[in-house]
Amino acid sequence: MGKVAFVFSGQASQYPGMGKELAEKYPVAKSTFDEADKVLGFSISKMCFESSEEELKLTANTQPAILTCSVAVARVLAEKGLEPDFVAGHSLGEYSALVCAGSLKFADAVRLVRKRGTSMQDAVPQGVGAMAAIMGLSHAVVADVCKRAANDEVCAPANLNSPDQTVISGHAGAVKRAVELASQAGAKRAVILPVSAPFHSALMAPMQQKLEQDLRATEFADLRVPLVTNVDADTVTTGSEAREALIRQVSMPVRWEESVRLLIDEGVNTFVEVGPGRVLTGLLRQTERSAGALNVEDEKSLVVTLEKIAAARSDAA
C-alpha cells in the first residue's frame, strides 16, 4: 500500500463526550488526559467528557481540549502499531501534529494552545471581527470578492480548505459585505461562522507577537516524520522550521487544499483523521475522491481503521 498521513483537526471539531470512551478503555489515553489536567491546573478531561457545548466552544477551552483528545488518540494508535509517514494539522491541529511527530513535548503544547486560545479570544473585541465560509466558488473568485468588499477594512481568505470551500476572515462589516457579494457571484452557500475572532487574518498580528515570544521560549526538536505546514503547504523536518511556521500561521491563511495535494504527490493514499469529528475527512473527499479517508475518535472508528489498514497491507504484501 502507499503511505499513511495522520491529519489533525482544528477548532469546530469539538463535541461533549469526546475522548471519554478511549480514556476509559486505554491507559495511555487516560494518562494523556491526566497529564493535561495537571499541566493546566484544572480538569480539561472533565470538560471534554461532561461539559456543555457552550463551555467547550470558548476558544481558550476548545484548543487544549481538542489537542488533548487528538494526542490521546494518536498515542493509542502508536500502541496498536500504527505510525504515520507524514503529519499535517489544520490550524490548531498543527500543534497536535508536532506532538505526534516528536517535535513538541505534550505538556508544552498544552500550555501553548491554552495561551493561544486565550490570546485569540482577547485579540479583537467581541463583534469587531468575523469569519464566513464560502462554498462553490474558486479561491481566486473569493479573493476578488474579499478585495471588493474590504473598503479599507481587512477582509481576506483565511482557510483555503478544498476546491469547493474557502473561509474568509476580517472586520465584521467587510466579511458581511463579502458574503453578499459571494452570493451574487453564484456561491452555493455563504454563511457567517460562529467563531469569537477573525483567525488567520492581519487583525491577529498583535496576538502573533505575543505568541511568538512563547514559541521562541519553547524547545522544538527535529521531527521523526515530515510535517506539511499550513502556511507554506510544504514539508519541514527541523524544529526551527516548525516553530517559524507556527509563528507565521497566526495571521496567514491555512493552505489546506494544497497541503493535501502535496501529500498525495508524496505517495500518500491513506489519510487518517486523528481526533474528534470528521471535518478533514469531508474536505479530503471534496479535494481528491480517490484517496482513502479514515478517522479515529472512539473505539468503533479505531477498530474499523486498524482493520482497513491491516487488510490493505496484507493485500500489498
CA-based nearest residue to 298, from 282, 274, 266: 274
Active-site pick, 51, 200, 251, 259: 200
Judge residue 136's burial from the number of C-beta atoms within 10 Å of its C-beta, 0-12 exposed, 13-18 middle, 19 or more buried.
middle
Active-site pick, 9, 51, 91, 201: 91
Q: Is 200 a catalytic residue?
A: yes
Q: Which residues are catalytic?
A: 91, 200
